[in-house]
A and B are shown apart, each in its own frame.
Chain A
Amino acid sequence: MPGNPQVVLETGHGSTVSQLTFSPGGHLLASHSFNGTTKVWEAAEGSIVWSFEQKTAGPGIALSEEFTPISISETQLLTGKGLGYAEEVSMRTGTVSGRLIPSPGNSPDPKSAFQGPPIVALAQSDDEKWTVVSNGTGRIAAFEAGRESPKILQDHGLSATNLWFDSRSHRLLVRLEDKSTLFQDLDGREGVRSAQLILEQDTSVAFSPNGDLLVLQPNDKGALLSTIPLRTFIQSEGDDKKDIAPNNVRQISCGCGQVKLSADGTRLVTFEGDSASYRDVRVWTIPGLKKVAELKPPPTFAIAAVSRDGNEVAFGGFDGSISLASVTRDAGSRPLSNAVQSPVSLQWWSNGELAVVDDGGGIESWSPERGSSSLAFQSGPVAFPAISRNGDFIAARTAANEFVLESVDSQKFESLGFKVEGRVASLAVSDNGDAVLWSSGDLAHFDIDQAIKWTESVSSSLDDPSANTDSLGTLVSLPLNLAKRTSQGWINTELCRSKNNVPWGLFASDQIITAGCSSTPPQGPSSAGTDVEAMAQGPAMTVMAGSRFLRVRASGETIEVKTDVFDPSSVAISPDGHWASILGSSSVQVIDLTAKRSNAPWQPEEPIQESSVSNSNKAPQVAIANGGIVYFIDGSGEVQGHSVDGKRLFSMISLADRGWIVLGRDGRFDTSDVEESGSSVKWRMGDDPSHPLPVEVFMRDYFTPKLLPKLLGTSPLPEVRPLAKLNRVQPKVWVTSVVKENDLAGTVAVRVGVESTQSSVQKDSEGRLLTSGVFDVRLFRDGQIVGDSPQFDTVEKSGSITTDADRALWRKTHQVQVDSGVSGSITFHHVQLPKRAGLSTAAFTAYAFNRDRVKSLTSPPYFYTLPVQRATFAKARAYLITMGVDANQSRNLDLDMAVSSAEDARTLLRSKLAAGGAEVVEVPLYSERDDLGRVKEKTASKADLRAVLNLLAGKSVSAALEDEVDPRHQLRKAGPDDSVVLYIASHGYADPQGVFYLMPYDTGANWGVTEDQLNRCQSTPLREPDCGQPRDLLAHSISSSDLAAWWEGIDAGTMTMILDSCHSGAVPGKEFRPGPLGDPGFGQLSYDKGMQILSASQSTQTEKGTVTGGEARTILVNVLKDIASAQPQQTLEQWMKGVETTLPSVAKQLYPKLNENDVQSPLLLDFTKKTARAAETQQQKGA
């Protein structure tokens, strides 16, 4: 049983990378950091495989992991431990599979607390037959696979610093601490030989293909490459006065800070510049020294590794990042690790959102209500960020130890020219931009005017009577203005230093500084301390936590609540002051401040990391919400949400591209971009743990929009389908050819290959390995769907497929027949090509689904070179259809403002489309009455709109209808260079199942059907004749399925629909989830087509009209007009975004009594991003 998937985040180490090495085949890359973390990456895919955090070995045992030697093969990771053994970790399971102990330790049980001399060097032969381990006392042991006892190459003496295997044999060169070397052929009968070869530090060594030794030593001119014939090398044994004479020495001239050889001796890599700034990385052949590539290292480059064949160079950064550059693929380095931003600080903002400061200097604002995150501030990497409670100001220390303070609005940090010395104790900012920083060197007060008010390195005592202090044990509180006035010596920072204690403090928004020095920490669980070790400021109260107590100071009184937490490092108060949470050395506890009662403490799933106040940027921290939900960070890259009693509920992850992911504990997830997030978050399955799967594999069952509010709500989410039952075998899909079909029309035939694959682990109930099958193949041109197979005449109704019967039906109707049930191909004919200038290629991709509707990987793009002679083709067109329904056959649906709104929208949209250079073709479809109530125009009908969209889809319509909607016969099949913009102002309705309906002119004689009646008729069994009229009204209306069917055939480059109607937010469908899911319904179609949909209101809300200056318009059009008037240069996308942002505040002003949920909020679905990405890729390729 695979169980629920575990999340795997592609985060960096968060601290400088100290070790980096490839597996012999170059498939895996292992990295280790000074913070003790080790990670394994899949180099070709650029994805993480395993991440190992530093673990405690047991009570009282400290691990020294800073200079851990590592080695990786295709099957195991070898890690040298400070406790005297090398640990083998299986790459298949991620668990410890064995220990290699070069010398006996001090414990009879090597699996428990074994302790011996630390391992200082290790290496594996490429075939994994031999593993050589050297410890700190100079014992060098060679372990042969399958044998218990090692071959001892050296019992004691100088320790090895480097071990180099010949990648083609089992010859080994060892460099010792004194630069001398040893040579050993582990398969040979000879003993260990002194190689009489002196190797300086930073020398790179490899065995050439003929077995000679290549030595690359940096010198002041660059590096010296020497070739030492193996024969000469061996002959030197015993003659300790005779240096080895290389037979070929060549000077490599470069300004190199580093040089490296590939392990197979065929490549040489030079790193230009110095360790502070490497500029270029060049790869050269050996022996010809011909440059084969010039690579650009990342700016944070600290350490590099070269793959065995020299075709890949990996970089480890000072910031813990990992990136990879390939000689064969491109010149730039691609980051493997920077997809996730690690949170370093939490704080509630006054708007109820959680500010999460990340290690990249950004502040993400997480809304538990919306369930999403947005970027509030972005700057460079900082430490100790502090945000004012009102969210206006942020202060921090930069990597260069400078103090910075800025208003959040400014979106940048500026240094105040103040160097922070020593350990940072506390940093806080008030609502008006006053900041106090207390380091072990100084207590400094700043304000937002960037003037240092005062800074003190004081030495006199705390009890200056003039300071009017309010002593609280070891604390002192005093008003800020008084502190400034009496700034001569009121806090003794020297006292803190002399006793090795930690200064800490708090600057509260009410202008109170509370500061103190903690004394000696408690020595164990039994000793409850008296010192306050963490503080937080809440509404009219301050809480102070120490070991086993929490003091609450409010209204001049202090009460104490007993707790169970030792050495608290972080304490937090909920915004309403109801809850407090304390983070201790091993547990978290929630205190009900109203009842003054402590809940039972609980431990997070992962051990709490180093938690004392320190200069680490990864100190754990808690925040607590009004409902008692505890938000917890510990440097893992996630913000974890726990219930009061410690049940882990969710994780919130901020991505480097400012996207975000919310993960539930059952595998459900929500994300800002379901297609992109797959590259940064993967899932690990219990039955195949070494192959983390992209997020899209589980999209169908686990992608849950608005997951966070659902998890925080009271209604339990329905059970998700057990993964054991889910066939996760992905079919393979690829584009095999694109062939020109018709020169004049510019169409091509695209052939797509498909293959049903077989799982290597998943089996059916009869023990047979599962196969994927091939279902529902979809073809995309530059990210826009242009074909699917099998094809349907109608678009299915929105909604998820949940029952076995529905699933069986789906399989029956969507299966693609493949040869022998394994592979086959599908040809999509008459696919249009773009014709506009500036494009040289079109990119075709495809994907399919397996029998459980699990998506395949999207195929690599097939770049088709566009014909050169395209200037003869017609100019791009923009089809602008505006529909306004004032007159309606059902008289109660008559309006006064639909046509006028449509006309205003038409004017605005026309100007925008014309500005883009397109020939604008306008199609007004209106229905109106004259002043006597007679219908004077009625083209705003269902049939007319369908006719227009059919013409744009290249379908035929009756001559009479064409004459009616397009009297000048301007409409033709839209192409990839054309735009289609449809605006509709009309009544709208969403039924209880979430199906959206627009009311055109021709709704039939159904005067008097109300929403209330429709809801009843649509949610209960039909009652004739009472539901006759409602049913007839809906039959005459335009449903979201109608819209999907009509839009489906249109193949325009840009497709935009603005629905100015009540409930129009329902148009994508109730179950719509924006992703490549293959769902039925309009939402999925709009996603696949890369459409933009602006709906005037959410599915439960109404759209209204107003009369301004005697003119009646919908609110949406009024807002659009205002935005267009203020920002005429903006794009249509920006205008629509502006409407989405601005309209709610306008509606709130107009209808101040409305509940928050009823305030009209437009819904903007902009799926052009993915097509834009595809186009960008295409253009890069074309260039």
Chain B
Amino acid sequence: MKLSLTILVCLGTSILVHTAEAQKTPVSQSVDLVLVKGDDLSKVPAPPSKLQLVQTNATVTPYRNIYQILKSNGIAPDSEAFSLVYQLNPKISDLNQVTPDTVITVPTVRGDATLKKFLQQGDLTQLTINPSLRQGLDQQIDTLAANSATFKTIPDTDTQDQLQSLVKSYQLIEGSFKRRTGPPLQPQTLIQLNSEAEVLNHLGQNLSSGSTQLSVEDRKQVQAIFKDVNSVMSLYGQTLADTVPKGESYYDVTVNLKGGDPDLLNTIRVYYTFNGLFRTLPATPPIVSFGFPKLGSGRSEKFLMKNYEVWAAKDGDPNHPYSPPYLLTIDDATSPTLIVELSIIKGTNP
């Protein structure tokens, strides 16, 4: 039996919404809970009818690490559980660095009296964060695998190689999720992977419906997605040591707007999207984008290690830019805080 419930997790500034009206609010995330056996993680045949996930505080001690804490809270300490822990403790990006006596927020499973019995015999609750997003991603990956043969018909070998590599990467993502060996991911990354897989499948669909060529813009987009996904895949590089998987690090990005009427700058919002989703604006259909939480110049947002396109536009109308897009690449060598300057196009009249 699988239970799905929604919890409220304060994600700080990590806001990802498909709306132009970005705002800093708690984001709802759903979490699937499945009771599994502690030894082989197979589903418990007759689980309790009611499971509830709550957040509690726990103190790390020298002999009680995050694994033990989660297990004692009835949670299977896998990558999904660590995703949630990192989201509940946004200031922590590496649980290996947490020193004894640190108090952290952790998920805990609650239920009726029968749950206690299950937990006492070693059963654990396996979490899946954002199951619909995961499910959507898995579907996209299956479609992508089906499109693999179509991609081989592309005459441009570079693009073809990139697409084949992308198919393999997505399959690795799916497999490692099922085996629970992947890295703890932020929702933003799941959205990115989902959206970019969707774009690739759209290209595949076009190809299978008769077109044998990709446009220059399409090829550029494939290349951008290839880079984006490779950036994510760097998170899948495991360490062969008994350590806790690291979370995704945040980078504070401040965008300054230059030029234009100073009074009008306060009405402008900075938008961004993953480079693989970006197409020359205005695009048809409009591209998926995300807005900074506040209007005006000098505003900040927390980014992950990815490739972004950043631009300024009228609030609520990201498809009509006021500035040229800026390619922001955040990689392992990037400083934790960085400033981006966008020049408002001359003659812009909001």
Q: Does A602 sit within 8 A of B, measured CB to CB?
A: no
**A894-B181 in contact (CB<8A):** yes
Q: Which of B38, B169, B178, B237 has the most CB of A within 10 A?
A: B237
Q: How far is the CB of A538 from chain B (nearest CB, A)?
A: 33
Chain B 233-269 interface mask (CB, 8 Å, partner A; 1/0): 1101111111110000000000000000000000000
Q: Does A897 sit within 8 A of B, measured CB to CB?
A: yes
**A896-B239 in contact (CB<8A):** no
Q: How far is the CB of B78 from chain A (nearest CB, A)?
A: 7
**B96-A1104 in contact (CB<8A):** no
Contact of A1010 among B172, B178, B243 (CB under 8 A): B243
Closest B residue to A1111 by CB, please name it: B168
How far is A988 from B242 in the complex, measured between Cα atoms in Å?
8
**B243-A1011 in contact (CB<8A):** yes
Q: How far is the CB of B96 from chain A (nearest CB, A)?
A: 7
Give me 24 A-to-B residue pairs in the complex whose CB atoms sit less than 8 angstroms apart, sorted by A's number: A886-B181, A892-B77, A895-B238, A896-B238, A931-B179, A932-B178, A933-B41, A987-B241, A987-B242, A988-B240, A1017-B63, A1026-B63, A1063-B241, A1096-B240, A1102-B239, A1103-B239, A1104-B237, A1104-B238, A1105-B238, A1105-B240, A1107-B234, A1110-B166, A1112-B236, A1114-B240
How far is A894 from B40 in the complex, measured between Cα atoms in Å?
13
In the assembled complex, which residues on chain B have CB atoms less than 8 Å from the CB atom of A1063? 241
**A1112-B239 in contact (CB<8A):** no
**A1010-B240 in contact (CB<8A):** no
Closest B residue to A893 by CB, please name it: B242
How far is A999 from B96 in the complex, measured between Cα atoms in Å?
20
Closest B residue to A987 by CB, please name it: B240
Q: Does A985 sit within 8 A of B, measured CB to CB?
A: yes
Closest B residue to A1011 by CB, please name it: B242
Q: Which of B67, B166, B238, B333 has the most CB of A within 10 A?
A: B238
**B333-A1110 in contact (CB<8A):** no
Contact of A895 among B62, B78, B168, B240 (CB under 8 A): B240
Chain B 172-212 interface mask (CB, 8 Å, partner A; 1/0): 10011011111000000000000000000000000000000
Q: A1099-1147: which have CB < 8 Å to B?
A: 1102-1107, 1109-1112, 1114
Q: How far is the CB of A388 from chain B (nearest CB, A)?
A: 32
Contact of A1109 among B62, B165, B332 (CB under 8 A): B165
**Given contacts A1010-B244, A1103-B239, A1106-B234, A891 and B180 within 8 Å (CB-CB):** yes
**Given contacts A985-B240, A987-B241, A1008-B65, A1107 and B169 within 8 Å (CB-CB):** yes
Q: How far is the CB of B148 from chain A (nearest CB, A)?
A: 11
**Given contacts A933-B179, A1008-B71, A1012-B65, A1110 and B238 within 8 Å (CB-CB):** no
Q: How far is the CB of A996 from chain B (nearest CB, A)?
A: 12
3 smallest beta-carbon distances between A and B, as pairs: A1110-B168, A1008-B67, A1026-B63
**Given contacts A892-B242, A1114-B240, A933 and B333 within 8 Å (CB-CB):** no
Q: Does B171 sit within 8 A of A, measured CB to CB?
A: yes
> What bracket does the count of chain B residues touching chain A fall in?
35 or more
**Given contacts A896-B172, A1107-B233, A1102 and B68 within 8 Å (CB-CB):** no
Q: How far is the CB of B237 from chain A (nearest CB, A)?
A: 4
How far is A1110 from B166 in the complex, measured between Cα atoms in Å?
6
**B237-A1106 in contact (CB<8A):** yes
Contact of A1007 among B64, B77, B176, B332 (CB under 8 A): B77
**B332-A1010 in contact (CB<8A):** no
Q: Does B167 sit within 8 A of A, measured CB to CB?
A: yes
**A929-B77 in contact (CB<8A):** no
**A1062-B71 in contact (CB<8A):** no
Q: Does B217 sit within 8 A of A, measured CB to CB?
A: no
In the assembled complex, which residues on chain B have CB atoms less than 8 Å from the CB atom of A892? 67, 77, 242, 244
Q: Which of B70, B181, B243 has the most CB of A within 10 A?
A: B181
How far is A988 from B244 in the complex, measured between Cα atoms in Å?
14
Q: Does B101 sit within 8 A of A, measured CB to CB?
A: no
Q: How far is the CB of B243 from chain A (nearest CB, A)?
A: 6
In the assembled complex, which residues on chain A have CB atoms less than 8 Å from the CB atom of B66? 1008
Q: A1012-1042: which have CB < 8 Å to B?
A: 1012-1014, 1016-1017, 1023, 1026-1027
How far is A985 from B239 in the complex, measured between Cα atoms in Å?
11
In the assembled complex, which residues on chain B have CB atoms less than 8 Å from the CB atom of A886? 181
**B240-A986 in contact (CB<8A):** yes
Contact of B63 among A895, A935, A1027, A1152 (CB under 8 A): A1027
**Given contacts A891-B78, A934-B40, A1110-B172, A1009 and B237 within 8 Å (CB-CB):** no
Q: B29-44: which have CB < 8 Å to A?
A: 38-42
In the assembled complex, which residues on chain B have CB atoms less than 8 Å from the CB atom of A1012? 65, 96
**Given contacts A1107-B169, A1110-B168, A1111-B168, A1013 and B63 within 8 Å (CB-CB):** yes
Q: How far is the CB of A882 from chain B (nearest CB, A)?
A: 15
Q: Which residues of A contact B (CB under 8 A)?
A: 886, 891-898, 929, 931-935, 985-989, 999, 1005, 1007-1014, 1016-1017, 1023, 1026-1027, 1060-1063, 1096, 1102-1107, 1109-1112, 1114, 1150-1153
In the assembled complex, which residues on chain B have CB atoms less than 8 Å from the CB atom of A1096? 240
Q: How far is the CB of B114 from chain A (nearest CB, A)?
A: 23
How far is A931 from B180 in the complex, measured between Cα atoms in Å?
10
Q: Which of A986, A1023, A1026 has the most CB of B within 10 A?
A: A1026
In the assembled complex, which residues on chain A have CB atoms less than 8 Å from the CB atom of B234? 1106-1107, 1150
**B168-A1062 in contact (CB<8A):** no
How far is A437 from B161 in the complex, measured between Cα atoms in Å?
58
**B65-A1013 in contact (CB<8A):** yes
Closest A residue to B70 by CB, please name it: A1008
**A1102-B241 in contact (CB<8A):** yes
Q: How far is the CB of B74 from chain A (nearest CB, A)?
A: 14
Closest A residue to B167 by CB, please name it: A1110
In the assembled complex, which residues on chain B have CB atoms less than 8 Å from the CB atom of A1005? 38-39
Closest A residue to B334 by CB, please name it: A1153
In the assembled complex, which residues on chain A have CB atoms less than 8 Å from the CB atom of B40? 934-935
**B62-A1016 in contact (CB<8A):** yes
**B333-A1102 in contact (CB<8A):** no
How far is A595 from B65 in the complex, measured between Cα atoms in Å?
52
How far is A255 from B266 in the complex, measured between Cα atoms in Å?
104
Closest A residue to B166 by CB, please name it: A1110
In the assembled complex, which residues on chain A have CB atoms less than 8 Å from the CB atom of B62? 1013, 1016
Contact of A1011 among B41, B169, B238, B241 (CB under 8 A): B241
**Given contacts A892-B242, A1010-B67, A1012-B96, A1107 and B237 within 8 Å (CB-CB):** yes
In the assembled complex, which residues on chain A have CB atoms less than 8 Å from the CB atom of B68? 1008
- Given A896-B236, A988-B240: 4 more A-B contacts, CB < 8 Å: A1009-B67, A1104-B239, A1107-B230, A1107-B237
In the assembled complex, which residues on chain A have CB atoms less than 8 Å from the CB atom of B176? 896
**B175-A1110 in contact (CB<8A):** no
Q: How far is the CB of A1164 from chain B (nearest CB, A)?
A: 18
**B169-A1110 in contact (CB<8A):** yes
Closest B residue to A1061 by CB, please name it: B240
How far is A1014 from B62 in the complex, measured between Cα atoms in Å?
10
**B238-A897 in contact (CB<8A):** yes
**Given contacts A892-B77, A934-B40, A1107-B172, A1153 and B332 within 8 Å (CB-CB):** yes
In the assembled complex, which residues on chain B have CB atoms less than 8 Å from the CB atom of A932? 178
How far is A893 from B238 in the complex, measured between Cα atoms in Å?
10
In the assembled complex, which residues on chain B have CB atoms less than 8 Å from the CB atom of A985? 240
Q: Which of B42, B71, B239 has the most CB of A within 10 A?
A: B239
Q: How far is the CB of A1118 from chain B (nearest CB, A)?
A: 10
**B241-A1016 in contact (CB<8A):** no
Closest B residue to A1107 by CB, please name it: B233
In the assembled complex, which residues on chain A have CB atoms less than 8 Å from the CB atom of B169? 1107, 1110
How far is A989 from B242 in the complex, measured between Cα atoms in Å?
7
Q: How far is the CB of A460 from chain B (nearest CB, A)?
A: 59
Q: How far is the CB of A403 from chain B (nearest CB, A)?
A: 46
In the assembled complex, which residues on chain A have CB atoms less than 8 Å from the CB atom of B175? 896, 931
**A1105-B237 in contact (CB<8A):** yes
**B242-A1151 in contact (CB<8A):** no
In the assembled complex, which residues on chain A have CB atoms less than 8 Å from the CB atom of B233? 1107, 1110
Closest A residue to B169 by CB, please name it: A1110
Q: How far is the CB of A829 from chain B (nearest CB, A)?
A: 42
